[in-house]
Structures are given as C-alpha cells and as structure tokens.
Amino acid sequence: MPALDSQNSLQKNKDPTLNEANLPEPPPFIHDQFFFFGDSITQSDGDPMLGFSCCQALQHDYSRRIDFVKRGFSGYNTVNALSILPRIFPSPEQGRVRLVESIFFGANDISLPETTGQHVPLHVFEENLRCLVKHPKIQAHDNIKILLITPPPIDEWGFDGWDEPGRSARTAVTAQGYAEGVKKVGDEMGVAVVDLWGACMREATVGWNASRQTERGVKPLMPGDKRAERSDVLSRLLHDGLHLSGDGYKILYQEIKQTIINAYPELRPCKIPVALEPFFPEWFEDNAPWLAIESKTKKVTLGDLTMPWSHSFDTSPDSALKNALRKDFHWGFATAAAQVEGAWNKDGKGESIWDKFCHTPGKVKDGSTNEDATRAYDLYKEDVALMKSYGVTAYRFSLAWSRIIPLGGAEDPINEQGVQYYNDLIDELIANDITPFVTLFHWDTPQALEDRYGGMLNQSKYTPDFLRYARLCFSRFGDRVKHWITYNEPGVYTLAGYAAGVHAPARSSFRDRNAEGDSSTETFIVAHTEIVTHARAAKIYRDEFKAHQKGVIGITLHGNYSEPWDANDPKDVEAAQRAREFEIAWFADPIYGSGEYPGSMRAQLGSRLPTFTAEEKELVKGSSDFYGMNTYTTFFVKHRSEDADINDHLGNIEKLDTNSEGESRGLESDTYWLRTAPEGFGKLLRWIWNRYHVPIYMTENGTTAKGEHVKAPPSEEVLDDTFRVDFYHSYLRELARAVQDGVDIRSYFGWTFTDNWEWAAGFEDRFGATWVDFESEEKTRYPKRSAYFLRDYFGHLITGK
C-alpha cells in the first residue's frame, strides 16, 4: 500500500459482504511508522522512470506492519532540515515513530562554497547532524531508532550536459569527506550508519586499476574524479552524476536492510507483528518465503525465522556483463554421495572405503561419521523442492558404487533398491526442470574391492569391475542422464589417499599415520589406473550408448592457480608453471593434449611415473568431451634450490600465502587452504582454455566462511552469509569476463547445496548455501542468503533469463 501520513483511527471496511461483527477492535494507531527524511535523493525515490524504489521495496517487506512516511525536499541541506523538522515530524500523540529510517542529507551540503549557495562547511554539517539526532521532536518518541545515511559518491563525468553549471559544483573527493563526517557523528552518538558511499565505491573499485589513476603519477584518484578514467559502474549507479538510478536505489535498499539486521534486529519484519489479523492468511506468504521441508518421519520447518528480503538482491552486474552467458548455460550445485546421502548400510548398500575410514578412531577431525550425513537419501524430494525454490537449472551428484553393486565386482549381484533410489532421484529432478549431471566415482571405492586386490593399485583386476559398473549406470540411467562424469578429482583422490594418507584408503610412506603404503610410487600408479579406466569407460559410452542417448561424457579435474612468489624471478615464474603442470596437466595433458604426461613430471619422477602403452595413449587422448573443472583458490609459488624429496608430488616448489611484496593471496575462509582469489580464477580459466581448447564445465567452486562452523541458527549472523555472497559474486564476474574473452564455459556448480560431511574434516567445514542443523534428527535445512544471490545473479548473466 502507498506511504501514509499518521492517523489515529481505522475506518471500518464498508464492504457489505464482510461481517463487521468479526472485525477486531482497532488499536490506537493502525501501525507504527518509519520516517524517511532527506533531500532530492529521498524525494526522487519512487520515480517510476528509474525502475526501482528503495522505499517501496522496504514498504513491501513491512506490509501491514509499518507505515512509511517519506519527506524528501529537493535542494535542501542540513540547515534547511533543522528549520523544517518541527513542522513535518509527528508528535507521539499523532503516531509513534519507531525508526527515523533516513536522515539522509549531504549531497547539497557538499556543493562548493562559490557556486549554488547550498554549501555547508564540513564541521557545521557534522554539528547539524548532531542537532537532528538530538532534536526534541525526535527524542520525544520512546525507543526511537535512527539511521544516518552517507551521501553517495559524486560522478563528475555525469555532470556533462547539465543545464545549470552550478549543479556540477560537487567533487568526488569532497563527497568522501562528508561521508566520513556522517560516520564520525554516528560513532560519537551511538547511531547506526548506512554507508551508501562505501557500498557504491566497493562496486566501482572492482577491477579499478588505481595505479593508473594518478595525478602526476603521485596521488591515486578515485572513481568519479574527472581527472581519472570514467567509471562505468558509477555511471550506472548515478544517472546524472548526483542522483541515484534504479540500480543505485537497489544498493541503498540492501545497505539499509543489512544495517537493520546488524544494529536493530528487533526491527526486522519478522519481529514486528501485524496490526490486524488478515482475512486471508495466504496474503502473507510473500513475506515468509522460507520453504518448509517435510521429511518422511515428521514435519521439518525452518523455525520462526523469516527473512522477507531473501528474494530481493541487488545483483546487477556491470552493464557489460548482462547476458554474457549462453542461453543454455547450466547452473546449480554439486554434491557427493558419501557426503550427503547417509543411509550408509540401508536398503542393501555395501561398505565403501570411506565408511570404513570414518569408523576408524582418529581419522576424522571431529570424530564424526557419515552414517546420516544430511539424510539426502531420505529427503531427496524435499531437497529437490528446495533446489527448485533456489532457481537452479542443474544438479551434479554422484552415484555410490556400493549402493548399486554392494561388493563392487563384475560378477557381484546388483542391488535393485539402490538402482531404484537413483531412478527416483533422477525422475524427481527432471519433473522439476532440473538437469542431472551424474558422476560415477567420487572417491568411494567399494571396500570389498580394496580387500580383494588393493583396489586401484591393481589395474588389471580393477578395470573390469569399474567398467561393468559404468556400463550398468549408462544402461539404467542414460535415457534421462545426458551429462556423465567418470571421475571426480582423481588427483585429490590419489594425493590425499595414497601420498599423504589423510583420506581413504589411508596409505602412505608415513608410518606415524599409516600402517602401509608407498607415497613415492602408489600415488602415480593409482592416477594411471584412473586415467586409463576413465578412457575405457568413455569408449564404452561412445560405442554403445551415445548414438541413441545423445549425451556427453568427460572427467572432472581439480586445480588451483599458481602465481610466482617473485614475478621478476624467472625461477619462480618457471616454478609456478611447473606447479600447474604437476597439479593439473598431470591428468589433463594425457586426456586433452599430447596423450603423455608433462615433461616436467617425467624429468623429476623418472621411472616412478608410469608410461602409457601405444594402445592406452590412443585410447586416452581425446577421451573427454569437455573439461570438468573444480577450482577454489590461488597460491604463490616459490622455487626450491635443493633436489626434490622422493615423496614430493608438487614439482619441488613451496606454496605460500604472501608474495615477495607482502601481498596476500586473498581473504581467509574457515578452511586453512582456501582464500578468496578471483583474479587467479580468471587466469586459470584462460590458461586451461588456451592450453586445451575444449568446452569447460565448471563443476565445483565455493567457500566456507570464517567462524561459521561455531555459529547456529536461527540467526541472520549465520544465514546472511555475506562472505560467501562476495566470493560467488567476484568469481562469477571473472567467469563472465572470461566468456566475453572467448572462453567456452557451459556450466557452473557451486560447492555446495547444503552443508555436508566434509570428508576428514567431518562437519566442521560448512560450504553450503543451505545451513544444516546436524544436531537435529531431521537435519533441518535453513536457506542462506547466498542461495538466493546465485539465483538472481545468474538471472542477469544468462541470456534470455
């Protein structure tokens, strides 16, 4: 409903079809009030020509809870504000004001003194703000809360063509000073501040090369300064250099909401009761979009928490990125069976090496097992419904080999209950317009094969078992599955399981950790087995199924970008390249390149690195229809002068968190090795494309958030996962830019859909876009902000969305 002035009584509904006897008695006032008070930027909020209104969006969020009163005065500064406040601000008798939502002045105060007559010196401006905050008319209201809002940046470039030259008498530098003044007053008086200037500048400085924006090579210039390059971002946020555009009002809307959450959580919509009971309760569903999840055992709800802006985000990318991605681009989340399904010994499932590993004391950091995980096996219908509410178009999941063939072997019986589960999951996804991407192997070898002959260490015995399993999956599911992945991160499987021995099957040369194994040889034997059996499975699919099923098959490889520790040291530059070859080209060169292992690996490892036979080389080369890419971060790499250790698998290099200039590789997460590094991500996409030139499917990318594992819902501190949103935002920008540069990228899968059981880290590393209460029997799901961010952001990036 439109913004209202305060009123003291409710006029009863005159509709004769309503029974007036059932109407409740009116309260003293219909609603409490939020009061917007500012200059022309407040006045213009709601202009239909701009396409978005901050006030109207907030008004919608607080529907039937709060009245919004907007008082914007074009051309007014803080002196004018003080003079009119007594005449426009209601007394407590006229209506209770809960929040002076917007004391929003400064855009006129900053005018240069010799121009428009609106100028107010900075120290006077600050004192005027103090007087506004302390004004008796405002303070007469009990428990009133106040927000001060900084003026936006100034885009001097946007003043070109203004009819009144005096209006352009504002500078980018001056705007910053007055924004700092608002924050100073807020800190002094204990009043919350909405830093609109800072939020806009964060957008504008993404990709901003400050080193090029200097005055006479000395003083860095900020976006908006006409002595610097023009900022396309500020041009988008400020339609005339001073006033907010629709996109600018979206940022203001987001910042106001975030400040309310942080400073005045009692004023969140979910904490304010409606003034009158509705005749039709469903009217309120739009104000509580949190999905109720019903398990097979009992009703699972999301508690009494609601976040009415969970579906309202300022996700507009740079204008140049609009529709950057192809119309058939797939996006969604990735999971692994061992991490989410639970039901580890239910309905005929056999034991996997991870089932054995996690039941061995001391192997998992928090002592947990994957017996229940997230209960995805029982809750798959509810999970698919939740995914659909997130807007995903695809879901990448793995099949548990030991659920389909409990003992794993070519002659072992099939578990039809396991086959039926995956049939049901695939059908449920397709019924909800979600495309299944299926991984055959995500690290969970059947334990029976490990016991019989050592699993992948025995290629000759392992191969027919894996190929029988692959052929069975193609035949049972391939009529609906059009995207197949043979192995997920085969390098991590062998490095963690056979080199370091910290993952199943827990083999290595380190006897303080593992009873048996040889890190110097087994690591490469297992990798060779994975590459060759991948190629043989791909040949089966292409020869027997592809023609009528019309799908594609590939492999997913891990790899993080390596930057030289000292970019001016040729040895570090070479070490960074070598690190990428040991980590990525180890698998990628045989499959997408020459059919052989990289020369740098052969030079260091010699005969410990297996050799492809002529038949294997022909089979392996070109065996993947696409490049499945899992990546998370970037490392600085420094060369080592001494000879490589026999157990080295990295290329005789040292990985570091800072470079020779002391620059960090990125913001820390809750996972020791993972830091936010979007620039390295963009470089890696181009490196892979230039080296292999095959379509790229981004099959995993995501992050944990610092301290998230020790927090608990229902609190927005957990669910409003801004760190993860920023991670996804920065990485997806790089992905879209890479596409515009000609890199063929066809999917993006975030890691991951829900918090899950993270292998040897147990439940401590929370990567999910959905928070899971692992203490509850039902593993209750709570959507995080990042889930809705991804929905909205891909809506901007994908053509035709």
Q: What is the pLDDT of residues 251-280, one digit of tens each?
A: 999 899 888 888 888 888 877 777 654 433
Q: Which two tokens stand for residue 82?
A: 């003080």
The domain boundary, picked from 641, 675, 709, lies at 675
Q: Are 230 and 372 in a shared domain?
A: no
Q: Are 245 and 386 in a shared domain?
A: no
Q: What percent of the chain has pLDDT over 90?
A: 63
Q: Is 784 among the domain residues? A: no
Q: Is 60 among the domain residues? A: yes
Q: Say whether the peptide bond before residue 90 is cis (omega within 30 degrees of 0).
A: no
Distance from the first to the final alpha carbon of the chain: 29
* Residue with tokens 């991870």, as numbered in its chain: 354
Would you say 555 and 534 are in contact if contact means Cβ atoms under 8 Å apart?
A: yes
Residues 666-688 as b/e (b if ≥16 CB within 10 A, e otherwise) read beebbbeebbbbbbbbbbbbebb
pLDDT tens digits for range 589-643? 999 999 999 999 999 999 999 999 999 999 999 999 999 999 999 999 999 999 9
Q: State mean pLDDT over 63-76.
A: 84
pLDDT tens digits for range 634-679? 999 999 999 999 999 999 999 999 999 999 999 999 999 999 999 9
Q: Is 688 among the domain residues? A: no
Q: Are 267 and 336 in a shared domain?
A: no
Which H or E run includes 782?
Answer: strand 781-783
Among 341, 450, 489, 530, the one annotated catalytic:
489
Calpha distance 526→531 (Å, rounded):
9
Q: Are 270 and 378 in a shared domain?
A: no
pLDDT of amino acid 19:
40
Q: Are 255 and 355 in a shared domain?
A: no
* Rounded (10°) CA dihedral 440, 444, 447, 453: 70
Q: Which two tokens stand for residue 439?
A: 């991984």
For the full predicted model, state whether its pTM sits above 0.75: no
pLDDT of amino acid 665:
96
pLDDT band at 801 (very low <50, low <70, confident <90, very high): low
248: pLDDT strictly greater than 60 = yes
**Number of domains into which the chain is organized:** 2
Q: Are 482 and 402 in a shared domain?
A: yes
The domain boundary, picked from 264, 280, 296, lies at 280
The mean of the pLDDT values for the chain is 86
Question: Is 156 marked active-site?
Answer: no
The domain boundary, picked from 245, 280, 315, lies at 280
Q: Are 532 and 641 in a shared domain?
A: yes
pLDDT tens digits for range 495-505? 999 999 999 99
pLDDT of amino acid 296:
31
695: pLDDT strictly greater than 70 = yes
771: which residues sit within 8 A by CB, 6+ positions away?
A: 713, 718, 719, 754, 755, 781, 782, 783, 784
pLDDT of amino acid 69:
85
Calpha distance 622→590 (Å, rounded):
8
pLDDT of amino acid 307:
45
Residue 357: CATH number of its domain: 3.20.20.80
Residue 178: CATH number of its domain: 3.40.50.1110
**Phi, psi (5° rounding) for residue 434?**
-115, 125
Q: Are 264 and 362 in a shared domain?
A: no
Helices and strands (DSSP H and E) totals, the chain: 27, 24
521: pLDDT strictly greater than 50 = yes
Q: Is 626 among the domain residues? A: yes
pLDDT of amino acid 315:
52
Q: State mean pLDDT over 420-428.
A: 98
CA 436 vs CA 249, 408, 474, 481, 613: distances in Å: 38, 23, 13, 6, 35
* Rounded (10°) CA dihedral 173, 178, 184, 190: -140
Q: Are 360 and 244 in a shared domain?
A: no
Q: Are 542 and 667 in a shared domain?
A: yes
Among 156, 450, 530, 700, the one annotated catalytic:
700
Question: Is 489 marked active-site?
Answer: yes
Q: State mean pLDDT over 448-456.
A: 98
Would you say 504 and 497 are in contact if contact means Cβ atoms under 8 Å apart?
A: yes
Range of the domain at 193: 29-280
DSSP-derived letter for residue 273 is -
pLDDT band at 351 (very low <50, low <70, confident <90, very high): very high
734: pLDDT strictly greater than 80 = yes
pLDDT of amino acid 278:
44
12: pLDDT strictly greater than 80 = no
378: pLDDT strictly greater than 60 = yes
Calpha distance 498→645 (Å, rounded):
16
Q: State mean pLDDT over 98-123.
A: 74
Q: State mean pLDDT over 349-369.
A: 97
The residue that leads in pLDDT, 364 or 314, is: 364
Q: Is 732 among the domain residues? A: no
Q: Are 345 and 270 in a shared domain?
A: no
Q: Is 243 among the domain residues? A: yes
Q: Are 359 and 451 in a shared domain?
A: yes
Q: Is 286 among the domain residues? A: no
560: pLDDT strictly greater than 70 = yes
pLDDT of amino acid 31:
62
Q: Is 546 among the domain residues? A: yes
25: pLDDT strictly greater than 70 = no
